[in-house]
Amino acid sequence: MSKKEFIKKLRKNGYKATPQRIVIYEIINSFEEHPTAEEIHKEVLKKFPSLSLSTVYQVLHLLRDLGEITELKLSNHSSKFETKSEIHINLICPKCDKILDYYSDTVNTVWSEVENEFNFKPISQRIDVYRYCNECKEIMK
């Protein structure tokens, strides 16, 4: 979603398009990985040095509620965030919390079959598979 479309969506849902909300949205979209709120906050401070971590959390929860991001709650009770809306599987390491996204035509096909069989369009989706990443597997040997 473009910045202009994001601003329109905020306003349509009764929210102000504040510079802080816009910057947080842009920052989370710039990450290749799944950032934590703290990592997002670190980047936000470069533009808004006095913005609190609490405000970042509030904006992230607003983005989640608007369907713009997904919050991935992890085993250590922390959260990471993602903006990807394409059907994929999150491969999550329970030891280090590294997340890899797995995209596949097979996953898309199976998901389409589920939608067709049950005659629905999901409002969101999330498929998590927990496995140890290669680095953690090596350490555990």
DSSP codes joined into one string, 21-51: HHHHHHHHHH-SS---HHHHHHHHTTT-TT-
Q: Which residue type, as a one-letter code, is found at position 108?
A: N
Q: Is the pLDDT of residue 73 over 80?
A: yes
List Cβ neighbours of 98 (8 Å cut-off, separation of 6 or more).
92, 133, 135
pLDDT in the model for residue 28: 94
Measure CA of the first residue to CA of the last residue in the chain; give whole Å: 44
Q: Is the pLDDT of residue 126 over 90?
A: no
Burial class from Cβ neighbours inside 10 Å (0-12, 13-18, 19+) for residue 49 reads: exposed
Read off the tokens for 120.
């629905």
Q: pTM value?
A: 0.83
Per DSSP, helices labelled H in the chain are 3-12, 19-30, 37-44, 53-65, 105-118, 134-140
CATH class for the domain made up of 3-73: mainly alpha
pLDDT in the model for residue 36: 94
Q: Is the pLDDT of residue 123 over 80?
A: no
Looking at per-residue pLDDT, the higher value among 83 and 109 belongs to 109
Residue boundaries of the structural domains of the chain: 3-73, 86-140
- For the domain with range 86-140, which CATH number is right: 3.10.28.10, 3.30.1490.190, 3.40.50.300, 3.20.20.70? 3.30.1490.190
Q: Is the pLDDT of residue 84 over 80?
A: no
